[in-house]
Amino acid sequence: MLPLAACASVPASDTVDLVRAGCPTDIRIQTDAPPRVEWGFLYGLLDADSVRVGDDRVSAPLILDGEPTGATLTILTGDPLDGVSANVQLHEDDDVLLGAVDTDIALLDFARYPTVGVFAPLARDPRLYFWDAGVYPGLRNVESFRATVTPDGAARIPVAAVPNDPFTGYAIGIGWLTAEQVVADPDLTLEGFVAAAGLHAQAGDALVDPTLLGRPGATPRPTRWQVLDDIGYSRDQGVLSAAPQTLVRYADCLTVLVPELQRALVAYLDDPEATNAVVVELAAQLGDEGYDAEVADAAFRELLAERYVGNGRDDTIGDIDLARVRGLFETAVPRWRDAEVTVPAGVTPDDIVTNRFIDRSIGR
């Protein structure tokens, strides 16, 4: 057990016994990243005096407003660059209650690994693409990737993306990219970008990469970037989701747990300092020393400034914007089919997300 800085308390009207409410004694939640501020609300639920750190997980008694809940919270960390989504794990491991599943993955994988999103930590998707402005001074946006050639004129700009990323299929279908431009087995680290001498564009994270790219000596030339949410690709990233059978089995649990996640998110956003220190410490213990206090602080500021997190249209936090999900269906599905991406037939937004467990009175 490793003592950590105290996390922010979570206001609640009464002491909650999550186990008596129907939750498992070990509530396991699979995230899509190492410890990060976008998951800070989860780390704020840990009893900081009893944290255990494993190779790919962090666990401690789950506390609400300083009180025990009868349950342990295990946060399973993920690799955002490996192209493996939690929807697979939700079907292969019955011990995982919730997992972070992007709505485009939920749609495309529905026939094999159906999931239903119940809580959206983020209101917008912070994914971006960045490129070397010195090598490609005329490149201003992602829509121009297909029309941009390498300095020697021999090929179109290579584009490094997460394996099996649905956006690349969308971009091919809409004509922003060709299949030949997508880099196979890319190194999506900053070191990989530098090693490529700026010749390829690269997928990244608006909460982290601008800070890293802006550090002195990080790259030999300035970079530009564009957030995909700003160009109409309205997926939701990291929606906490359950397998359909889990949704039935743990309906009573989720009725209590999801509103507590909403309150935890509000509490974290209002008082992030102690929890961010925990996130940075845990990131280092799990081998991600580059995610330091400067990066975490910048990421948190970006979360708020660019409204990647916050209330939805109805002053509720954590709910899933069904208009965004419908927009993804309307804009992406035809483009995926144009790119010969297999899209399951008959899937609707209501199949992959629900707000049935959301408490509409909880907002920031």
| Cβ neighbour number for residue 194 with a 10 Å cutoff | 13
pLDDT at 14: 67
Strands (E), 65-178: 67-76, 96-101, 116-119, 127-132, 159-160
Main-chain phi, psi angles of 351, to 5 degrees: -75, -30
The tokens for 86 are: 């939690």
* Whether 180 and 75 share a structural domain: no
Given pLDDT bands bounded at 50, 70 and 90, which one contains residue 251?
very high
Res. 220: pLDDT tops 90: no
* Whether 241 and 111 share a structural domain: yes
Q: Which of 343, 297, 269, 282 is nearest to 11 (CA)?
A: 269
Strands (E), the chain: 26-30, 52-53, 57-64, 67-76, 96-101, 116-119, 127-132, 159-160, 201-205, 223-227, 239-242
* Whether 114 and 262 share a structural domain: yes
Q: Find the radius of gyration of the CA atoms of the chain.
A: 20
Res. 10: pLDDT tops 60: no
Q: Which of 128, 126, 130, 162 is nearest to 38 (CA)?
A: 126
The tokens for 108 are: 């495309």
Given pLDDT bands bounded at 50, 70 and 90, which one contains residue 3?
very low
Which residues, in sequence order, are CB contacts of 149 under 8 Å at separation 6+? 155, 156, 157
Q: Which of 30, 51, 80, 13 is nearest to 288 (CA)?
A: 80
Mean pLDDT of 13-18: 79
Residue where a domain terminates, one of 231, 263, 290: 231
pLDDT at 336: 98
- 3-state class of 150 per DSSP? coil
The tokens for 299 are: 């990421």
Q: Which of 276, 271, 268, 247 is nearest to 318 (CA)?
A: 268
The residue behind tokens 């431009």 is 181
46 DSSP assignment: B
* Whether 254 and 109 share a structural domain: yes
Domain-embedded: residue 21: no
Residue predicted with more confidence, 10 or 280: 280
Model confidence pLDDT, tens digit, residues 185-216: 889 999 999 999 999 999 999 999 999 999 98
Q: Which of 215, 258, 235 is nearest to 102 (CA)?
A: 235
Structural domain span for residue 287? 26-123+235-332+342-352
Mean pLDDT of 279-302: 96
* Whether 219 and 265 share a structural domain: no
Mean pLDDT of 142-168: 95
* Whether 169 and 208 share a structural domain: yes
231 DSSP assignment: G
Residue where a domain terminates, one of 202, 231, 260: 231
pLDDT at 4: 53
* Whether 73 and 152 share a structural domain: no
pLDDT at 239: 98
* Whether 184 and 203 share a structural domain: yes
Res. 6: pLDDT tops 70: no
Task: With residue 91 as reference, give the H or E element that holds it.
Answer: helix 86-92
* Whether 111 and 161 share a structural domain: no
Domain-embedded: residue 148: yes
Alpha helix (H) ranges present in 93-144? 103-108
Instruction: Please answer whether residues 260 and 362 qualify as being in contact, where contact means their C-beta atoms are separated by less than 8 angstroms.
Output: no
The residue behind tokens 């057990």 is 1
Res. 7: pLDDT tops 60: no
Res. 150: pLDDT tops 60: yes
Mean pLDDT of 35-44: 98
Mean pLDDT, the chain, whole residue set:
93
Which residues, in sequence order, are CB contacts of 299 under 8 Å at separation 6+? 36, 37, 38, 207, 208, 211
The residue behind tokens 């295990």 is 74
Domain-embedded: residue 258: yes
Model confidence pLDDT, tens digit, residues 44-92: 999 999 999 999 999 999 999 999 999 999 999 998 877 788 999 999 9
pLDDT at 1: 43
pLDDT at 103: 98
Domain-embedded: residue 359: no
Residue where a domain terminates, one of 197, 231, 265: 231
- 3-state class of 272 per DSSP? coil
- Exposed, middle or buried by CB within 10 Å (0-12, 13-18, 19+), for 313? exposed
* Whether 207 and 276 share a structural domain: no
Look up the pTM and report it.
Answer: 0.93
Res. 5: pLDDT tops 60: no
Model confidence pLDDT, tens digit, residues 108-132: 999 999 999 999 999 999 999 999 9
Res. 11: pLDDT tops 70: no
Model confidence pLDDT, tens digit, residues 301-337: 999 999 999 998 889 999 999 999 999 999 999 999 9
- 3-state class of 176 per DSSP? coil
What span, in angstroms and rounded, lies between the C-alpha atoms of 193 and 199?
A: 8
Mean pLDDT of 128-150: 97
- 3-state class of 189 per DSSP? coil
Res. 256: pLDDT tops 50: yes
- Give the domain CATH number at 215: 3.40.190.10
The tokens for 316 are: 């509720």
Question: How many domains does the chain fold into?
Answer: 2
Which residues, in sequence order, are CB contacts of 217 under 8 Å at separation 6+? none
Report the half-sphere exposure of 18 (CA within 13 A, side-chain side).
24
